[in-house]
Structure formats: C-alpha cells, structure tokens
Structure 1
Amino acid sequence: MNVRQSLRSSWPVMALLLLSSLLSGCGINNIPTLDEQAKAAWGQVQNQYQRRADLIPNLVETVKGYAKHEQETLTAVIEARAKATSIQVDASTLDNPEKLKQFQQAQDQLTGALSRLMVVSERYPDLKANQNFLALQSQLEGTENRIAVARRDFILAVQKYNTEIRTFPGRLWHSVMYSNLPVRETFEATSPDADKAPEVKF
C-alpha cells in the first residue's frame, strides 16, 4: 500500500475524530451530563429523608417510655412516617410534577409531626436528660441540616439543567437530540419556612 492509499484509508477515521472533538466542544454532552447531576442530587435528597425515617422508630420508642400519655402525638408521627416512606420518587418519576408534589407534602407533614413531638418532649425533664434521647435528637438535628443542604443542591442542579435546555446552544441540542428530556420541576418549599432546618434544640 503506497502513501496515497494509506492517507485515503485513514481519512474517514481522521474526519470522525475531528467531528467528535468539534461536537464535544460545542456542548452536545452538557444536557445528559446535567441531567445525570440532577438525578444524583435527587438521590441525595432521598438518602437524607430515608436517614430521618430510620431514626424515627427509635425516637418514638424512647419518647413512649417517658411520655405514655402523648399517644396522639406519637401516633401522628408514626402515621406521617408511614405515609412519607410510601411515596417514592426515583429517577424514572422525577419528571412527574404531581408525584413530586405528593412527596413534598408527605415530607412536610412528617416534619410538622416531628416538631410537635419535640414540643411535647419539653414537658418531660427525665426524657430530656435521657442519653439515648439526646443522641437521637442530635442525629435528627444533623439530618435536618443535611436535608436542607441536599434540597439546595438539587435545586441548583435542576436550575443548571433547565437553563442549559432553554438557552443557546443547549436549546438547539435539546430540540434535535434530547427532546425526550423535559424541563424539570424543582423541590420547592410547600410550607412556611420549609427551606430552613426545623429547630429541634432543647
């Protein structure tokens, strides 16, 4: 094979490499990258809410030992936890605004029930001094802060993704190649001060 034939046979490969480098530099990969980042951020939101849900049974049992007359409050927490854990929003349903709203409302109800439980706990000095309760309270407070951070990170990830598919050149790539990826809803506060971590200090 002479030099001319060698160049002719390598031309398609060189053209493909050149085209690939041009496309990678023009933002064609931004949309799927930002989509995956938004999904990963949502995964962290779910992880933190699950962490909170896992703390609740021990917290309820500890409170029950000292506050047996607060059955209504304890039942409200248990029921709110059951409802919150029954509604799951994963990557496949993340673009369903109705499902996301249901998830938010269930988590807000659980936050409210936990707040009422903490208020009730104030009436029982022995409970407030219990080491197990203090450890659970500290873990719950840390988890609420992690939830706030995870929600913020998800909102920022969605904002970047939505901005990309609404502005040039992302809008062009979205219409040509990624039209199946919709504008995504953010996880908005649905109750007063829902963007702040609840106060659970004693």
Structure 2
Amino acid sequence: MKQNVVVSLFSVPSEAYQAFAEASVYTQTEKTQIAQIALVKRENGLIIPVQISDLTANVANGALTGGLIGALIGIWGGPLGMILGMTTGSLIGGADGSIETLGESDLLSNVAQKLSDGDTAIVLLAQETDESELDQFFARFKTTVARWDAAVVQKDVAAAVLVQQEQARQVREALHKRRKEEIKDKVEELKASVSAKIDAFKEDSKAKFERLAAKIKK
C-alpha cells in the first residue's frame, strides 16, 4: 500500500468540521487505511491545529505514522510556516465538489500559501492502494484535494526542522552580538562619564587650590 499525505482545502469551514468528524470514524478498508487526521485553520498568519485524531491502532502497519502530521503542523505553526505562507492565494474549490489540483510544489509551501486567514483544511496520513475511495469521500464537499508521498514529505519536514534550527542559531547569535555591543556601548559611556567627572573634579580641585593659594599670599 502506498503511504500518502492527503490534504483537502475547504471553501466552506463548516464542511471541514463535518468531514473531519466523519473521517475520524472512517471504516478502514483493504484499500484505504487512515492513520492520523488533523483539522487545521489559518489564524494570524499561522496554520494551527483545531482537532487531531490518531487512528494508528486501526492501521495494520503502525510504523506508518512516526508523528508526521504533528511535525507538519509544528512547522506550519512556527516562524518558518509564517515565512512559507507570506504569499497566500484564495481557495478555488469545485462548485460540484470536484477534485482539483493544488500544484506540483512541496506540501509545506503549497498548503501554507494556499490557506488564507480563516481558511480550514484537513491533513491526513493514509495507506492507499486505491485513491478513489478518499477522492469519493471528499467529493461530497467543496474541496481542493492533493496527495504527496509520505516519504517525500518526511524528508521535507526533516529539512525544514534543520532550517528552523539554523534560523534559531542565527537569531541567538544576533541577539548575543547585539547584547555584547550594547554592553560595550554602556561601558564606553560609563568610562566617558567617569572620565568627565574625574576631569571636572580635577578642574574644581585646581580652582579651589588656586583660590586658597591666593588667600594665603594675601
């Protein structure tokens, strides 16, 4: 059985909730087995989970999962997800519930760019020998559906995690450098202030000494 990540973008949010409820109790067949399913929504530029259902116990091959759906949502809900989704496009679902393509780019970027604020989607991990079963399930709704090979998605997620780690490292270095510069500036300011006070004290002491010397001469 082929392992796929199936994404369904909904033009009508209420239909997404209905489809999620039905898919969560989906009767597994020899041709289609759903391992994990998540209902996600885009809010404030980030894709966040609304509900997640784990059906791993009902899947013959438990090694299928590996937390892939959770990892996807983790990327979308982080800073990298916001960057990936900076160019968003409106959903165009078939009026009759027909299946339409999302494009050929990677899942992470494609979904992040297709979902606008307020839009909803279902993301599921499944084993399929016949894609028509899930296609027929989603065809009852106004949706845009696409599939990606789970192995490819897993590699993309791993690469994205490395990118996030590198971003975090660069941010830490930038903050550390900035703090060092700020401390250096403050030290220089303090040194200048102390030096100015010492000079002022010397001038004041010199003036007092000169006045005292003048009085003694008198």
TM normalised by structure 1 equals 0.26
Q: Which has the larger radius of gyration?
A: 2
TM normalised by structure 2 equals 0.24
Greater strand share, structure number:
2
Greater helix share, structure number:
1
